[in-house]
Amino acid sequence: MTNLIILPILIPFFTAVILLFIRKSVTVERIISIIAGIAVVIVSGLLAYDVLQNGVYSYNLGGWVPPFGIALVADSLSALLVLFTSIVVLVCLLFSIRGIDEIRTKFYFYPLVYFLMTGVIGAFLTGDIFNMFVFFEVLLMSSYGLITLGGSKAQLRESIKYVLINVISSAFFVMAIALLYSVTGTLNIADLSSRVAEVGQPGILTVIAFLFLIVFGMKAAIFPLFFWLPGSYAAPPPVITALFAGLLTKVGIYAIFRIFTIVFYHEPQITHLTLEVLAVLTMIVGVIGAVAYTDLQKVLVYNVVAGVGFIIFGISSFNEAGIFGATFYLLHDMLIKAALFLLVGAMIIITKTSSMHKASGLIKKHPLVGWSFLVACLSLAGVPPFSGFFGKLFLIQGGFEAGQYFSVIILILASLLILYSVMRIFFNVILGEENYETMNEKVSIKGLLYPSMILLFLTFIMGMGAEAIVPYISDATETLLNPELYIEAVLKE
Amino acid sequence: MEIIISILSGILFTIGTYLILSKNMTKIIIGTAVLSHGVHMLLLTMGGLKLGAAPLLGYEEAAYTDPLPQALILTAIVISFGVTSFLLVLAYRTYKVHGTDDMEKLRGMIDDD
């Protein structure tokens, strides 16, 4: 049981290594990857349960006590994120059986997905800031591979920008770590937190906090640093975009959670006010983009940006309701964004166009696609029986408690426009006269639909059975608001 | 000594930024390489440039230099080496497919082609 925390990192890693050797036998590759995916879901479920029972869990790699060695730390937030990551990856793997072409599969699609998963889960579980940088590079390097895989004209053009922006942000990450090391002399997050608390966060540490905000904001696509996302997320095939939208920006958000609740929480009137302003601007930009475009993938990509704004707003409230709402919304957002991209991927495969005006009347032949898309839209906008509602409810409550009335109004208006942007897809493409001349009658979408049905079922459960998931999220909130719980678990003396 | 190296890495940052803002793809890649040199030098400087023996226990000196930043730099160097080689191949392939290395001509939205 003591080594349980390392399994969600090791299983994907060794699976990826094994898959590298058998790239030509596609069926074997699929079987192995799905079995490993199920194994990771089970293991991370056990980890989440263990953390809820016994509190924050820390494991010292190689037996070196922190702050000298690298520690892996699982609190409720990271355990839940690991569980949801493994679910999203498993669902995308199920979709990829039909949803990705043979050539891409043969050229290391599955190993790249598993290396991506290793990086994401590692970044969630690490308790060391430089180790987090290394896991970021693992996930970025595999995302470079996935975004260029296939090598179409648009993919090459957009991925060169994606790679470039991430090279620059990685350079900034190393720079921020260097400056932080020169001030505090440590790299362990718990040790950093106690040392920052000792000196009471003077000006230089606030500057470093902003440098970290720039770095993680570039990964998470918050307002002035989101410009790379729309182009590069719309270029690769839908299943890869679903993986990216479900996981990559969320790693940046998680890092902002960690840094601004555990290490740099002493000057909230500067850092958290900035977070609030940036969150509101991110929402505004996201909904403007979502309403402006008529391309299906573009609309969803801008919805990713708006979702990031909602979550960051919850962190900026910095009270129990706000953090609770942000955590709930983060988990809901991972599921629903992946589900939406997979559904739109299925729709594009049926209609052979991603434009909103070239096809309509999908519901006559494919009613299940239509109704699942409606459910996904309502859940995204936050209509009560679904999971999006509780997250937003607590975000709004947190905002009112923190006195951020103007920002809350923007949040509600943004939700309205998000509902408009996705319902426009529903009315134009799904309802209406039957008109899609390019449609291939022989296309069977059975295999493409049930993965997103799994995700929709989970969001439904998360909304209806919110009682069951609330203890986990309250536990995560408690650890985030009381850094001493985290510090005591890591530095046991 | 820290002042001089800090200024030097500041100069490298300036050059890197200037090159990244240019149109030519090769110049941009050279810019990222210069930028990562600046970052690695900053990492070394921030660990402190106190005089001491190389961190090898066989020297049996009274004082050693800080070994941690050196390990961090070694990690960062291999990572940026891997990324740079990927970026070079990606730029070559983009040049082959699009027939240009001018970033201005690589504009455009997805549904243009």
Question: pLDDT tens digits for B46-68?
Answer: 888 887 888 898 888 888 899 99
Instruction: Name A71's bridge partners.
Output: A60
Shortest Cα–Cα distance, B59 to chain A (Å): 23
Residues A225, A299: Cα–Cα separation, whole Å: 18
pLDDT tens digits for range A449-488? 889 999 999 999 888 888 888 999 999 999 999 999 999 9
Average pLDDT over residues B9-33: 95
Phi and psi at residue A60, in whole multiples of 5°? Answer: -90, 115
pLDDT of residue A358: 82
Contacts of B45 in chain A (CB under 8 A): 178
pLDDT of residue A77: 93
pLDDT of residue A361: 83
Residue A27 has pLDDT above 60, yes or no: yes
Least confident of A130-139, A258-267, A477-486, B104-113: B104-113
pLDDT of residue A366: 84
Print the domain residue range for A274: 4-491
Residue A141: which of B43, B69, B83 has the nearest Cβ? B83
pLDDT of residue A201: 81
Least confident of A53-62, A146-155, A361-370, A372-381: A361-370
In a mutational test of the B interface, the residue from A107, A143, A175, A215 whose CB has the highest number of chain B CBs within 10 Å is A175
pLDDT tier at A166, thresholds 50, 70, 90: very high
A364 touches chain B (CB under 8 A): no
Residues A249, A230: Cα–Cα separation, whole Å: 12
pLDDT of residue B112: 45
Contacts of A148 in chain B (CB under 8 A): 90
Average pLDDT over residues A267-275: 89
Residue environment code for A20-41, b if the CB has 16+ CB neighbours within 10 A, otherwise e? eeebeeeeebbebbbebbebbb
pLDDT tens digits for range A413-445? 999 999 999 999 999 888 877 776 655 555 667
The answer to whether A226 touches A153, Cβ cutoff 8 Å, is: no
pLDDT of residue A437: 61
Average pLDDT over residues B33-37: 95
Identify the residue whose tokens are 């696509």: A221
Contacts of A159 in chain B (CB under 8 A): 90
Task: Give pTM, 2 decimals.
Answer: 0.94
- Amino acid, single-letter form, for residue A358: K
pLDDT tens digits for range A273-322? 999 999 999 999 999 999 999 888 889 999 999 999 999 999 999 899 99
In a mutational test of the B interface, the residue from A180, A182, A205 whose CB has the highest number of chain B CBs within 10 Å is A182
The answer to whether A336 touches A379, Cβ cutoff 8 Å, is: yes
Residues A13, A279: Cα–Cα separation, whole Å: 35
Residues A410, A444: Cα–Cα separation, whole Å: 42
Instruction: Report how far apart, in Å, the C-alpha atoms of A380 and of each of A268, A299, A369, A452 are.
Output: 30, 13, 16, 14
| Predicted complex: ipTM over 0.90 | yes
Share of chain A above pLDDT 90, in %: 65
Residue A410 has pLDDT above 80, yes or no: yes
Share of chain A above pLDDT 70, in %: 98
Which of A336, A332, A309, A320 minimizes the C-alpha distance to A415? A309
What chain B holds in terms of domains, given with CATH numbers, is: 2-49+64-106 (1.10.287.3510)
CA angle A463, A466, A469 (to 5 degrees): 125
Which residue intervals of A235-295 are DSSP H helices?
Answer: 238-258, 268-292
Write the Ramachandran bin of A55: left for phi over 0, alpha for psi from -120 to 50, otherwise beta: left
Helix, strand, or coil (residue A295): strand
pLDDT of residue B110: 47
Number of domains in chain A: 1
A416 touches chain B (CB under 8 A): no
Q: Average pLDDT, whole number, for chain A?
A: 90
